[in-house]
Amino acid sequence: MKIFDRLPPMDHLRSEKMSFVQLIMPVESAHRAITYLGDLGLLQFKDMNEDKSPFQRTFVNQAKRCAEMSRKLRFFNEQISKASLILSARPAVQPDIDLEHLEVKLGEHETELHEMNSNSEKLQQSYNELLEFKLVLSKAGSILASSHSHASSPDTELDENIYHNDAIDDSISLLEQGTRMETSNGAGLRFICGIISSSKEMMFERMIFRATRGNMFFNRAPAGELVTDPISGDQVEKTIFVIFFSGEQAKGKILKICDAFGASCYPVPEDRTKQLQIIREVTSRLSDLEATLDAGLRHRNDALAAIGSQIWRWSLMVRKEKAVYDTLNMLNFDVTKKCLVGEGWCPTFAIPQIKDALQRASLHCNSQVGIIFHELDAIESPPTYFKTNKFTGAFQEIVDAYGVAKYQEANPAVYSVITFPFLFAVMFGDWGHGICLLMGALVLIAREKKLGSQKLGSFMEMAFGGRYVILLMAIFSIYCGLLYNEFFSVPFHIFGPSAYKCRDSSCSDAHSTGLIKYRDPYPFGVDPSWRGSRSELPFLNSLKMKMSIVLGISQMNLGIILSYFDAKFHGNSLDIRYQFIPQMIFLNSLFGYLALLIVIKWCNGSQADLYHVMIYMFLDPAGDLGENQLFWGQKQLQILLLLMALVAVPWMLFPKPFILRKLNKERFQGHSYRFLGTSEMDVESEPDSARIRHEDFNFSEVFVHQMIHSIEFVLGAVSNTASYLRLWALSLAHSELSTVFYEKLLLLAWGYDSLIIRAVGLMVFIFATAFILLMMESLSAFLHALRLHWVEFMGKFYHGDGYKFRPFSFALLAEEED
């Protein structure tokens, strides 16, 4: 293991070193200090008031004020959205405004908007009533005119109290006028006119019929257009009705039913001259109201535009202030009630920057007492912070989706930058499809500034966030496609002529008898002559299956090696001796040996049956290998490897729990002073498996845990190796599906002389390639590569039970706002 000690340190493999710090700030400079720390964005505060509810904290009133201002700003945004106003992304530079003046200003704007909205709603309701009234007058007038000739007595006249010449009064709404019907002296026939939603018309008529016991006559006429309902403001289909009835009691019932069904009743005189006069008056009122509404709308839009030009700046300012007070609520007062005490985590490299920000805050506040900043020893585990950029950020997100690394745990994202797109490419290998992916990734990268400032859909946002992942997947797909020699499933002689030729000039037996080799192997990748030959599928199956096993065992070995680096970094010698070493022995004694046989078989061209070798390695270790022997001493090596694998299982299972029990006894009996410490930090510096954090040591629990871990690894070594065969299966499926599309769509259509059939075949081929191969197959290969990393690779060393470093940062607030 000394060779590993001489390796240079891998800074990106570990999270940043964190420091637990304490700040003691005078009250007068606390707000300014927190603001400067928010601008810096490198300190994560610890909540020191977890036992208090939000209403019991010191700065709860200030936080409520900020929350109220946020509500007003949300109200302004809603009003701007309803008005469909287009605002600039960033406002022009305006003079700074403090929080108190902003609060007053927002209150004034809200009151003004509420008044304008209330007046506009009243005017709009009156306007809609007048529109309905005009419609009722025109439709009901024709109904009354047609029924006038059938009237039996002059008592059919509408009671004079129902309508007066001055009925259109500003103080009384038309709905009220329609219902103010006084008792008639006569007992003749009367009528009520109104309008109702077409969806309620049948039920309304049936209810009127039942209530009057059939003593009524119901006339209707469709409005012919969508009518704006005065109450809801929605555009609905409505029907005008005229109900003829007799008696005061029937009138009361009908009016109650109209009110229950939301029907609007309007006074309509029977005289046609009066109807025309009212229509003229209503039309005049409508034009006046329309002008008033337009003027009010322009004034409201001007007010909203003035607010909208500054709303982004105001929103950010309020969000910052609320975040500052929320952070201040996480701090505690000292015993003198003159200083605020806070604790938190920061990267060690950021300590000078934090000290400088605190010093500037003290100077700008003219505080006589400076801010005290010092480091503390911490009991809990620090947060995890990895420095990422736009290239590595997506790979780190893939790892974090499985689980956030513990503090200073090996980061799989360092290796996933290469292994993830490569395993994807093994399943997706086709350099024609890879070029299509590459073009898409380059478009996203070339327009990243424009797309980064826009609000994208969920799918487009995911693709844009992983644009560099797609770029690497495309590059590796081109590489693997050149290895497989597939361009939309078509092979090309890119690297020289084929090493095989037909047995005769007609080449008629290429698919039956096969080809003959006449020169050196093809220099790079699969020979194009394998395409369409008799042994194409057996050859590619054997190649890709063996390649999948070699790649899988290599990646699993990498995962186990990373567990060694983790154990060594944390000083855990038990995990190195009784976990790393037996795991390496077990995995490589069986499956590492299989990978070695595959490589040897590739090198010497042997015809040995590896299935037979591996099966009889267990069933008959001392048996004769015969023609399956690949090298001298193979049988003896197999017996040795089988014994080592058998020894590795109890090596993993038994020593570690008993050694932990012994260490625990020595700790409490005082026989071992190297595990005694004077602080919690001494305890934390011990190996993970040897830490006893003031808890009782339960041997049975530790033994069962180790037994489960050992069994899981032994069974997982078999299942994980088989799981990597998905590389072979998906690669074969992708290749065969691409071949089917090429032969059954493109070539079949090209066999016809019709240009229309060729064009249709080409379009169907393009759509099938784009939607099935480039989208569905790429998503499938992505998910399978994700599983291989999460389970087979990261499961060997990665715990992922840490928590992210979430600093107090105004930059994060601005990103959330965008």
**Across 174-188, 345-359, 684-698, which has the greatest mean pLDDT?**
345-359
Cα–Cα distance between 770 and 791 in angstroms, integer? Answer: 30
Mean pLDDT of 181-199: 68
Phi, psi of 264 (to 5 degrees): -100, 125
Per-residue pLDDT at 161? 36
Of residues 762 and 170, the one with the higher pLDDT is 762
Mapping DSSP onto H, E and C, the string for 239-302 reads EEEEEEEECHHHHHHHHHHHHHCCCEEECCCCCHHHHHHHHHHHHHHHHHHHHHHHHHHHHHHH
Query: Both tokens of residue 12?
Result: 């990106």
Residue 597 and residue 540: Cα distance in Å, rounded?
18
Query: For position 168, what pLDDT does the model report?
Result: 41
Average pLDDT over residues 600-621: 87
Rounded-to-integer distance, Cα 260 and Cα 179, Å: 13
- Listed in sequence order, the residues at least 6 apart from 37 whose beta carbon sits closer than 8 Å to its beta carbon are 43, 354, 357, 358, 808
User: Considering only 120-129, 529-538, 795-804, which range has the smallest mean pLDDT?
Assistant: 529-538
The yes-or-no verdict on residue 184 having pLDDT over 70 is no
Rounded to 5 degrees, φ, ψ at 691 are -75, 135
**C-alpha to C-alpha distance for 277 and 149, rounded to whole angstroms:** 22
Could you tell me the pLDDT band of residue 682, with boundaries at 50, 70 and 90? very low
Residue 537 has a pLDDT of 86
Q: Residue 13: pLDDT band by 50, 70, 90 thresholds? A: confident
Q: Distance (Å, rounded) from C-alpha 43 to C-alpha 351?
A: 9
Contact (CB, 8 A) for 64 and 99: no
Give the pLDDT score at 817. 59
Is 60 exceeded by the pLDDT of residue 163?
no
Note the maximum CA span of the chain.
127
Q: What is the pLDDT of residue 95?
A: 63
Cβ distance 809 to 43 under 8 Å? no
Instruction: Name 373's bridge partners.
Output: 23
CB contact at 8 A, 264 and 194: yes
Q: How would you classify the pairing of strands 372-376 and 18-26?
A: antiparallel
CA-nearest of 398, 344, 399 to 376 is: 344
The pLDDT value recorded for residue 402 is 93
Query: What is the rounded (10 degree) CA torsion for 182, 186, 189, 190?
Result: -10
Give residue for tokens 């080799």: 517
For residue 25, give the 3-state DSSP assignment.
strand
pLDDT at 88 (0 to 100): 60
H/E element, 225: strand 216-228
DSSP 347: E
Residue 230 has pLDDT above 90, yes or no: no
- Do residues 398 and 788 touch, judged by C-beta distance below 8 A? no
**DSSP-derived secondary structure for 653-684:** HSHHHHHHHHHHHHHHHT--GGG--SSHHHHH
Buried residues in 709-729 as b, exposed as e (16+ CB within 10 A): ebeebbebbeebbebbebbbe
pLDDT higher than threshold 90 for residue 783: yes
Q: What's at 170, amino acid-wise? A: D
Give per-residue burial for 608-644: e unless 16+ CB within 10 Å, then b.
bebeebeebbeeeeeeebeebebeeebeeebeebbeb
Buried b (16+ CB within 10 A) or exposed e, 128-159: bbbbbbbbbbebbbbbbeebeeeeeeeebbbb
Q: How many CB atoms lie within 10 A of CB 763?
A: 12
* Burial class for 247, CB neighbours closer than 10 Å (0-12, 13-18, 19+): middle
Distances (CA, A) of 232 to 128, 235, 290, 541, 655: 11, 9, 19, 68, 78
> Cα separations (Å) of 142 from 106, 193, 471, 531, 718?
54, 12, 73, 84, 89
Q: How many CB atoms lie within 10 A of CB 61?
A: 10
Classify 27 in phi/psi space as left (phi over 0), alpha (psi -120 to 50) or beta.
Answer: alpha
Residue 307, pLDDT > 70, answer yes
Looking at residue 275, its pLDDT comes to 81
Average pLDDT, the chain: 84
Helix (H) or strand (E) holding 326: helix 272-328
pLDDT at 157: 38
| Residue 554 identity (one-letter amino acid) | S
Q: How far apart are CA 739 and CA 489, in angstroms?
A: 5
How confident is the model over 498-510, as a mean pLDDT? 67
Contacts of 477 (CB under 8 A, 6+ apart): 424, 425, 428, 429, 430, 431, 433, 434, 437
Q: 814 near 771, Cβ under 8 Å? A: no
pLDDT of residue 586: 95
**Got the DSSP string for 162-220?**
T--TT-S-TTS-HHHHHH--PPPSS-SEEEEEEEEEGGGHHHHHHHHHHHTTT-EEEEE
Looking at residue 93, what is its pLDDT?
54
- Helix ranges (H only) for 84-185 are 99-148, 174-179
What are 176's two structure tokens? Answer: 């009220």
Q: Which residues contact 757 (CB under 8 A, 6 or more apart)?
A: 749
Residue found by looking up tokens 């006119």 in the block: 193
Over residues 731-750, mean pLDDT: 90
pLDDT at 394 over 90: yes
Q: What is the pLDDT of residue 226?
A: 79
φ, ψ (nearest 5 deg) of residue 4: -70, -30
Give the pLDDT of residue 277.
87
Q: For residue 477, count other CB atoms closer than 10 A to its CB.
A: 30
Nearest to residue 531, comparing CAs of 581, 490, 471? Answer: 490
Q: By percentage, how much of the chain surpasses pLDDT 70?
A: 86
φ and ψ at 743, to 5 degrees? -80, -40
Beta bridge partners of 197: 238
Instruction: Give the C-alpha separation, 241 to 222, whole Å.
Output: 9
- Give the whole-angstrom CA distance, residue 556 versus residue 792: 7
Instruction: Using pLDDT thresholds of 50, 70 and 90, give the confidence band for residue 403.
Output: very high
Taking the C-alpha atoms of residue 412 and residue 396, their distance in angstroms, rounded to an integer, is 8
| Alpha-helix runs per DSSP H in 7-95 | 27-40, 60-83
pLDDT of 181:
39
| Model confidence at 27: pLDDT above 70 | yes
**37-75 pLDDT tens trace:** 999 999 999 998 888 888 888 889 999 999 999 999 999
Please give the DSSP secondary-structure letter assigned to residue 788: I
Q: Which amino acid is at 741?
A: F
pLDDT, position 92: 53
Say how far apart CA 781 and CA 135 lie, in whole Å: 64
